[in-house]
């Protein structure tokens, strides 16, 4: 070629003189293979440390990781959670904050305890035979085994953070800190000992969690019991002047139950205000029975109207009459065993749990033996007056006079788990007292232990609580509930940044309704309640020196120190171990995670941590289930100890469902593993999908969405690739000032300016979807389908010196700068690949900030002008499409349209620029007027009509534009003058 003369003869191949996109950046990403390589690169350059260093002087945005449970491989829910967190952290960091991410793990709790127990059992050892310290060590080892595995899986998701210095709730430091936090709550005076019925297995002598319970068929006795009415209080006392209730003076309220042994524990009867009741008098009993029924003519019984007939028939009454209405309000009964140690009032209490589906419409209420019973009792009387009638082996205690020592279940022998003597003894006593109306048997579903298969009972046990309705000093004399509610108003749950009230309503409702916090558990794997209780008066020992010794011991030896150390050592010289009960319970694991703020991030109000120099905001992000979980416990813990929520902003996400919106489950087989996505698609496909989802709702994940996300990825990748190719060799000297740019470039810069605001706003309010869709739409609609399409000619064919081409490349450089930054949080791998392809000497795209966009780029005129031009253009492209269908043309460059424009100002706009260039045609004629009737028009664009004609002249061998050969420059007969200019420049540069 070099030998050929300048101004080559016809037939010269001009292809090499073009500036076609050129880049080593491959179209095919190979994500699955390259992502791990990129992770290695970041590890090599120490990206995390560099990020911290770069942000050292910036204002802090504190992101606190809610610790996942250290158990099992991660699933898609973890992936969504961690990826969203990563998006928050990366966008905050690039927006100019110092946003650190310290991942953590939650380690204590039942799942691990169960697993370890099972392992011991497989090895032939029962939990009760394993020393506590050995058992706990095994739990620790179990968690320790999973943490590194999960950590590697999380890292594979592209989560940037301090993976070498993660926190756990089981480190000695954490265990000591959690214990210290509890002691701090104790000092507020909010901790008290109360009681609560729990699922209890007498056979195993242990309480059970709901998940350890299974329901089986069981045949139980059923009894109908009369409670004689003693008094009617409310009406008389409230002075309505109505002597209501005289008609029920000699009546009895009838209850029905399947657990006769709970009768000694009865303290109330529940009724429903929305059920109709009446007093019924027995007139006659059935004759000819083999036995004498307990019911007698003249008996007056209060019953739900709907159930009265059933009860009467069961009791073998032959006829009866309704004497009066019955209103339970204020009614007080006597206990059937009154006179035998049960001489208390049995009040009637209104409760929503009462139905008239079965029984009598009145519910026997033994607050120590049922969840509903407990709730309604404590609602009226608090923790007072709840008896402990049954011990841990299911035997009546002395609080059940007359039955002491009798067992509910047989505890050993052949009939272990079968009914013991308790039920029969109670029924006999009821008969003797004349209180039994009828009895029978019922087969029903009843809770059993999933281990021993033995029946369970509800049993009242002493427990530790944190009071939510008691004023305390840290709360400034308010109650914990009041402080928490005030903090809920202060915190942004989304209601402030997006107007979405969901999270706010949810947490508020929960705090408004919740009872006292039950913090004690009769378990092994956790942090103890490190307290001593005075045997003399039941008070908790509060001594700073003792507390300090406890915390110090735990720092040195972990929570085990509580059990391993002699009580006297903690108590020191001032107190005698014999005077105190050392509490052996462990803390609710929610207290653990509720305390993480204290030892992971601290907060400005934390007395134990140095305040951050320049705190901005503390962010929590978790699934919406954490309104009941971590958000909740952290709020209460922090409000109790510091009078303040530990966070300022809370972000929540929904759950990951399958394609149909159904829960993913192994048994259905609709589970998608993040590991599989990483391996098959590349994790960025998932990251892109999550960034584009409305994460507050549930996320549907299936093949369709992954395909769609892949497609979106390809589009973005190709856009980046094209930018790289077009910017090859771009130098600062080529840069053009915005003011001297052509309209099209001024418009593009204006779009960048607009996008900058959209993206920043979206990122600061964590609306990743809004940012991403704005970016994608820009890439598709503005860049690819319009700007680049139009500018290809200039980009490929103009001489390097061309002002137009320089302006174009300047604008594209700014596009590149922003797209790589804006996409970096979402596509960290691809953004890095793109950035380093262009700037191989730079370290990482992730060390950048979102580029500032000069205010001078705002150009409303260009924005509106180009919008009008594009409208007019759409009529031309529409017309070209028709011409194509009619085979008049193929490529648009084969056309030279005639355009009639009625509006003078629009016509002026079209004439002010090269409209042919915009339409990618070889020339265009713009004329005034409405145009001929057969011209092409679009209904939505008034006053523009187009007729397509074939472009005259010859086809330029270089730019493929049709032109008049008479205008060709000497020596270049087959190309346009513009191309001739470019070729001469190209030739000269060789």
Of 168, 188, 195, 187, nearest to 592 (Cα)? 168
> Binding string, 920-959, against RNA, x = CB under 7 A?
-------------------------------------xxx
The 765-804 site mask, x for binding RNA (CB under 7 A), equals: ----x---x--xx--xx-xxxx-xx--xx--xx-------
Q: Where are the beta strands (DSSP E) in 104-184?
A: 104-105, 167-168
Is the Cα torsion angle 518, 519, 524, 529 positive or negative in sign? negative
Q: Which helix (H) or strand (E) holds 219?
A: strand 213-232
Candidates 190, 457, 480, 705: give the one binding RNA (CB under 7 A): 705
Backbone angles phi, psi at 475, to 5 degrees: -85, 10
The CB-of-864 to RNA minimum distance in angstroms stands at 19
Minimum distance, C-beta of residue 121 to RNA, in the bound complex (Å): 17
In the list 7, 194, 557, 725, the residue contacting RNA (rule: CB under 7 A) is 725
Q: Which is nearer to RNA, 211 or 912 (CB)?
A: 211
Within residues 538-577, the interface with RNA by CB under 7 A covers none
Q: The sheet that has 206-207: what strands, in order across it?
A: 206-207, 191-201, 457-466, 517-518
Using alpha carbons, select from 522, 443, 451 the residue that is nearest to residue 214.
451
Q: Round to the nearest angstrom and report the end-to-end CA distance of the chain.
A: 12
Site string for RNA, 317-356 (x = CB under 7 A): ----------------------------------------
Cα–Cα distances (Å) from 473 to 171, 478, 486, 543, 751, in that order, read 31, 8, 16, 18, 56
The site for RNA, by CB under 7 A, has a size of 107
Of 20, 249, 564, 676, the one binding RNA by CB under 7 A: 20
What count of residues does the chain have? 990
Distance CA 768, CA 466 (A): 39
**Whole-number Å distance between alpha carbons of 569 and 565:** 7
Tokens standing for residue 875? 């009529």
Binding segment for RNA among 115-123, 585-593, 815-823, 860-868 (CB under 7 A)? 585-593
Contact status: 593 vs RNA (CB under 7 A): yes
| Residues of this chain, 484-513, that bind RNA according to CB under 7 A | 501-502, 505-506, 509-510
Q: Does 821 interact with RNA (rule: CB under 7 A)?
A: no
The phi, psi pair for 269, rounded to 5°, reads -130, 130
Range 175-234, binding RNA (CB under 7 A) = 196, 198, 207-212
Give me the DSSP letters along 761-824: HHHHTT-HHHHHHHHHHIIIIIIIIIIIHHHHHHHHHS-TT-HHHHHHHHHHHHHHHHHHHHHT
- If you ran DSSP here, which 8-state letter would residue 131 be given? -
Taking the least distance from each CB to RNA, the nearer of 76 and 317 is 76
Told to check if 515 binds RNA by CB under 7 A, we report yes
DSSP label at residue 847: G
Task: Check binding of 628 to RNA (CB under 7 A).
Answer: yes
Shortest Cβ distance from residue 112 to RNA (Å)? 8
Q: Which CB atom, from 443 or from 885, has the smaller least distance to RNA?
A: 885
Per DSSP, 364 falls in state: E
Q: Which of 38, 884, 898, 947 binds RNA (CB under 7 A)?
A: 884
208, 459 Cβ separation under 8 angstroms: no
Kindly indicate which of the ranges 91-99, 156-164, 445-453, 870-878 contains the residues binding RNA, using the contact rule CB under 7 A: 870-878
Of residues 269 and 720, the one with the C-beta less far from RNA: 720
Q: By C-beta, is 267 or 521 nearer to RNA?
A: 521
Q: Could you say which of 7, 18, 543, 863 contacts RNA (CB under 7 A)? A: 18
Q: How far is the C-alpha of 156 from the C-alpha of 172, rounded, in Å?
A: 28
- Taking CB under 7 A as the binding criterion, the range among 322-330, 440-448, 704-712, 800-808 that sits at the site for RNA is 704-712
Residue in 103, 104, 109, 682 binding RNA, rule: CB under 7 A? 109
Q: How many helices (H) and strands (E) does the chain have?
A: 30, 32
What are the strands, taking DSSP E only, across 889-928?
898-901, 925-928
Q: How far is the CB of 967 from RNA (least distance, A)?
A: 18
- Ranges within 642-681 binding RNA (CB under 7 A): 654-655, 657, 661-663
Residue 789 CB, nearest approach to RNA (Å): 5
Q: Of 566 and 660, which has the nearer Cβ to RNA?
A: 660
Touching RNA, residues 356-415 (CB under 7 A): 371, 374-375
Q: Which stretch binds RNA (CB under 7 A): 19-27, 117-125, 669-677, 861-869?
A: 19-27
Q: Interface with RNA by CB under 7 A: which range of 127-135, 236-244, 810-818, 889-897?
A: 889-897
Question: If DSSP codes are grouped into helix, strand and coil, which group holds residue 2?
Answer: coil
**Which residue in 715, 682, 730 sits closest to 823, CA to CA?**
715
Cβ proximity to RNA: between 479 and 874 the closer is 874
Give least dist CB 401 to RNA, A: 26
Q: How far is the CB of 239 from RNA (least distance, A)?
A: 34
Beta strands in 450-507 (DSSP E): 457-466
User: Between residue 422 and residue 481, which ones bind RNA under the rule CB under 7 A?
Assistant: 461, 463
Answer for which of 115, 230, 514, 609 binds RNA (CB under 7 A) is 514
Are the CB atoms for 102 and 48 separated by under 8 Å?
Answer: no
DSSP strands (E only) in 239-369 = 252-257, 268-271, 277-285, 300-304, 317-326, 331-334, 345-350, 363-365
Asked whether 322 and 278 are in contact (CB, 8 A), the reply is yes
Q: Tell whether the torsion through CA atoms of 727, 730, 732 and 737 is positive or negative.
A: negative
Residues 53 to 82: which contact RNA by CB under 7 A? 67-69
Name the residue with tokens 């299974």.
214
Site string for RNA, 960-979 (x = CB under 7 A): x-------------------
**Shortest Cβ distance from residue 751 to RNA (Å)?**
15
The answer to whether 560 touches 612, Cβ cutoff 8 Å, is no
Q: Distance (Å, rounded) from C-alpha 64 to C-alpha 734? A: 46
Residue number with CB closer to RNA (406 or 919): 919
């Amino acid at each position: 070629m070099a030998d050929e003369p300048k101004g080559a003869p016809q037939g010269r191949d001009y292809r090499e003189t073009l500036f076609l996109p050129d880049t080593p950046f491959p179209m095919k990403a190979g994500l699955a293979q390259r992502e791990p390589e990129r992770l290695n690169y970041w590890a090599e350059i120490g990206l995390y440390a560099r990020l911290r260093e770069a942000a050292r002087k910036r204002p802090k945005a504190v992101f606190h990781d809610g610790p996942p449970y250290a158990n099992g491989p991660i699933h898609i829910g973890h992936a969504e959670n961690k990826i969203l967190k990563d998006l928050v952290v990366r966008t905050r960091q690039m927006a100019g904050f110092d946003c650190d991410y310290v991942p953590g793990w939650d380690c204590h709790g039942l799942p691990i305890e169960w697993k370890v127990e099972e392992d011991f059992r497989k090895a032939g050892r029962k939990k009760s035979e394993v020393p506590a310290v050995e058992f706990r060590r095994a739990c620790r080892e179990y968690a320790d085994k999973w943490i590194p595995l999960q950590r590697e899986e999380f890292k594979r998701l592209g989560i940037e953070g301090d993976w070498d210095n993660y926190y756990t709730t089981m480190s000695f430091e954490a265990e000591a800190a959690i214990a210290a936090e509890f002691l701090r709550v104790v000092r507020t005076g909010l901790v008290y000992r109360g009681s609560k019925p729990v699922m209890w297995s007498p056979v195993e002598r242990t309480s059970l969690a709901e998940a350890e319970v299974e329901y089986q068929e069981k045949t139980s006795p059923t009894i109908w019991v009369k409670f004689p009415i003693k008094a009617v209080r409310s009406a008389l006392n409230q002075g309505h002047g109505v002597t209501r209730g005289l008609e029920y003076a000699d009546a009895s309220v009838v209850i029905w139950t399947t657990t006769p042994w709970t009768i000694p524990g009865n303290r109330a009867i529940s009724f429903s205000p929305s059920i109709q009741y009446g007093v019924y008098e027995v007139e006659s009993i059935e004759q000819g029975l083999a036995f004498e029924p307990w019911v007698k003519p003249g008996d007056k019984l209060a019953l739900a109207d709907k159930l009265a007939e059933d009860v009467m028939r069961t009791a073998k009454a032959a006829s009866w009459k309704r004497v009066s209405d019955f209103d339970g309000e204020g009614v007080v009964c006597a206990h059937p065993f009154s006179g035998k140690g049960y001489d208390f009032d049995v009040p009637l209490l209104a409760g929503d749990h009462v139905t008239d589906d079965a029984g009598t419409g009145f519910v026997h209420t033994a607050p120590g033996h049922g969840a509903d019973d407990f709730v309604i009792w404590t609602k009226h009387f608090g923790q007072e007056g709840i008896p402990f009638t049954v011990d841990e082996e299911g035997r009546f205690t002395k609080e059940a006079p007359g039955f002491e020592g009798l067992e509910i279940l047989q505890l050993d022998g052949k009939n272990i788990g079968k009914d013991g003597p308790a039920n029969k003894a109670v029924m006999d006593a009821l008969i003797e007292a004349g209180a039994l109306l009828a009895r029978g048997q019922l087969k029903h579903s009843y809770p059993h232990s999933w281990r021993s298969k033995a029946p369970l009972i509800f049993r009242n046990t002493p427990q530790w609580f944190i009071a939510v309705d008691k004023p305390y000093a840290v709360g400034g004399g308010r109650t914990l509930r009041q402080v928490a509610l005030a903090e809920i108003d202060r915190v942004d749950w989304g209601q402030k940044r997006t107007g979405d009230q969901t999270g706010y309503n949810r947490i508020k409702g929960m705090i408004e309704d919740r009872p006292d916090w039950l913090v004690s558990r009769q378990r092994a794997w956790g942090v103890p309640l490190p307290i001593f209780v005075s045997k003399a008066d039941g008070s908790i020992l509060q001594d700073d020196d003792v507390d300090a010794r406890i915390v110090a011991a735990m720092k040195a030896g972990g929570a085990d120190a509580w059990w391993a150390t002699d009580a006297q050592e903690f108590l020191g010289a001032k107190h005698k171990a014999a005077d105190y009960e050392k509490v052996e319970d462990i803390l609710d694991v929610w207290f653990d995670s509720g305390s993480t703020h204290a030892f992971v991030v601290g907060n400005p109000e934390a007395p134990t941590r140095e305040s951050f120099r320049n705190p901005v905001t503390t962010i929590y992000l978790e699934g919406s289930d954490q309104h009941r979980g971590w958000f909740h416990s952290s709020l209460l813990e922090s409000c109790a100890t510091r009078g303040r929520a530990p966070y300022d902003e809370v972000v929540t996400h929904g759950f990951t469902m399958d394609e149909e919106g159904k829960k993913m489950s192994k048994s259905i087989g609709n589970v998608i593993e993040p590991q599989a996505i990483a391996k098959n698609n590349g994790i960025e496909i998932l990251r892109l999908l999550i960034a584009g989802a409305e994460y507050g709702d549930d996320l549907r994940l299936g093949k369709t969405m992954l395909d769609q996300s892949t497609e979106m990825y390809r589009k973005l990748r190709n856009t980046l690739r094209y930018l790289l190719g077009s910017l090859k060799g771009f130098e600062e000297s080529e840069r053009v000032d915005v003011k001297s740019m052509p309209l099209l470039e001024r418009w593009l810069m204006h779009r960048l300016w607009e996008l900058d605001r959209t993206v920043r706003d979206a990122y600061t309010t964590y609306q990743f979807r809004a940012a991403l869709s704005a970016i994608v739409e820009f890439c598709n609609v503005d860049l690819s389908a319009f700007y680049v399409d139009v500018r290809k000619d200039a980009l490929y064919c103009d001489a390097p010196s061309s002002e137009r081409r320089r302006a174009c490349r300047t604008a594209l450089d700014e596009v590149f700068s922003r797209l790589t930054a804006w996409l970096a949080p979402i596509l960290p791998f691809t953004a890095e690949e793109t950035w380093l392809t262009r700037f191989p000497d730079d370290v990482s795209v992730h060390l950048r900030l979102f580029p500032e966009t000069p205010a001078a780029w705002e150009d409303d005129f260009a924005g509106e002008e180009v919008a009008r031009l594009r409208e007019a253009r759409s009529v031309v492209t529409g017309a070209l499409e028709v011409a194509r269908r009619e085979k008049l043309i193929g490529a648009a460059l084969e056309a030279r349209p005639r355009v009639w424009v009625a509006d003078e100002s629009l016509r002026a706009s079209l004439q002010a620029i090269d409209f042919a260039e915009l339409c990618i045609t070889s020339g265009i004629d713009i004329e005034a007027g409405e145009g001929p009737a057969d011209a092409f028009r679009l209904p939505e664009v008034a006053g523009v009509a187009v007729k397509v004609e074939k472009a005259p002249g010859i086809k330029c061998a270089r730019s493929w534009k049709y032109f008049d050969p008479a205008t060709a420059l000497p020596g270049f007969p087959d190309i346009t003058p513009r191309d001739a200019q470019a070729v001469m420049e190209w030739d000269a540069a060789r």
